[in-house]
Amino acid sequence: MAFFSDFEFSGGGIVAKETGAQIPWSAGFARDAVRVASFIGLVQGLRAARVFSGREPRARISFYPKKPRSYYAIWPVCQLADVRIVDDPDEADIHFFFEDREFRTAPLPAPTNRPAFNVGCFDIRKSVVSRVFEEVFGYSLNIDPKTHRGEAVEKSELNGKHDGKIVSCPLAETRPGHVYQRLIDNTFDGREFIDIRTPVVGGKAPFVYLKRRTRDLRFSNENHRVDLAPVDALLSKKERAQIAAFTSAMALDFGGLDILRDRADGRIYIVDANKTDMGPPSALASAEKLQAIRGLADAFAELVDDRLKA
């Protein structure tokens, strides 16, 4: 199956060929891989049924400089939004900048002058995310590790590292390629750490994933439970408007945000932005995965229609 061909064994772990990300081998990873592959098969079946019924595509889309693999969220979204993925950009009604890397020095122009998504979202390093967050929300996530007193979080500038650790400040020296941010108590009860993973389509969040983690895994990507929740139950109207302004400033038409709510001050903090979002989380049941992708597909279909009318 194509899904498994995207990984290779190396040094007792697994390496994602596309990004070079190191994934420790575990029974949990094997279980999640099977779940993802099963979900991909389900989506392929639904898409085949639509094609067999003679359903015409809403639009044709080309991705550049690379096409997404089936485990990226945009792939099943296109299948269920009736947006056909084509190889030739001249055949496309719309384009999508898709590249699983954090930084370019400048945007990569679309191959034609037709509408395009995520074109200006070419720098999602954590320092950029935190700077734009502060500009939009009016309060800061960053701290100066050489003058701050107390605990803080040290993490890599790059996405997908999940290498955050708590450090005691002030620090005499800082690590190159790392950022230093305030330590957020993102618990509801003081025990279970919760990330509000927020998919965004055209500045709107159709729903949120509540990713629940134990204290020892709070900075990892391992969830002991994931819940699908209505966005208005977790984010206020004002916060949703601020999130829309943030995604506009980042030129992020389609992607995902990691949001933490601080138990101490009650405010939300956007700690990460992803333009090549994977998902839905493997810990979700198949029915909830399908519900999530259908929600994203409906939102994406509306966004495509709006862009083509403009």
Mean pLDDT, rounded, of the chain? 88
Q: Distance (Å, rounded) from C-alpha 277 to C-alpha 263?
A: 27
Over residues 239-246, mean pLDDT:
98
The pLDDT-based confidence of 15 (bands split at 50, 70, 90) is: low
Q: Distance (Å, rounded) from C-alpha 89 to C-alpha 161?
A: 33
Q: Determine the angle formed by the axes of helices 126-137 and 237-250, rounding to 10 degrees.
A: 130
Q: Distance (Å, rounded) from C-alpha 44 to C-alpha 62?
A: 19
Query: What residue ranges define each of the domains in the chain, with the CATH number in brackets?
Result: 2-121 (no CATH), 126-274 (3.30.470.20)
The pLDDT-based confidence of 307 (bands split at 50, 70, 90) is: very high
DSSP 16-57: ETTT--EEE--HHHHHHHHHHHHHHHHHHHHHHHHHHTTPPP
Backbone angles phi, psi at 23, to 5 degrees: -120, 115
What local confidence, expressed as pLDDT, does residue 300 receive? 98
Neighbours of 267 (CB within 10 A): 12
What local confidence, expressed as pLDDT, does residue 1 receive? 46
Q: Residue 121 burial by CB count (10 A; 0-12/13-18/19+): exposed, middle or buried?
A: buried
Q: What is the pLDDT of residues 81-94, one digit of tens each?
A: 999 999 999 999 99
Q: Tell me if 29 sits within 8 A of 23, measured CB to CB.
A: yes
197 or 282: which leads in pLDDT: 197
What local confidence, expressed as pLDDT, does residue 21 receive? 52
DSSP character at residue 216? G
What local confidence, expressed as pLDDT, does residue 182 receive? 96
Q: What does pTM read for this prediction? A: 0.86
Q: What is the pLDDT of residues 30-67, one digit of tens each?
A: 555 556 666 667 667 666 666 666 678 999 999 999 99
Residue 100 carries which side chain, given as an amino acid letter?
D
Q: Name the least confident of 3-7, 127-131, 251-255, 279-283.
A: 3-7
Q: Select from 274, 247, 218, 293 the least CA-distant residue to 21.
A: 274
C-alpha dihedral (287, 77, 69, 102), degrees to nearest 10: -110
Q: What percent of the chain has pLDDT over 70?
A: 83
Neighbours of 55 (CB within 10 A): 11
Q: Distance (Å, rounded) from C-alpha 193 to C-alpha 260?
A: 9
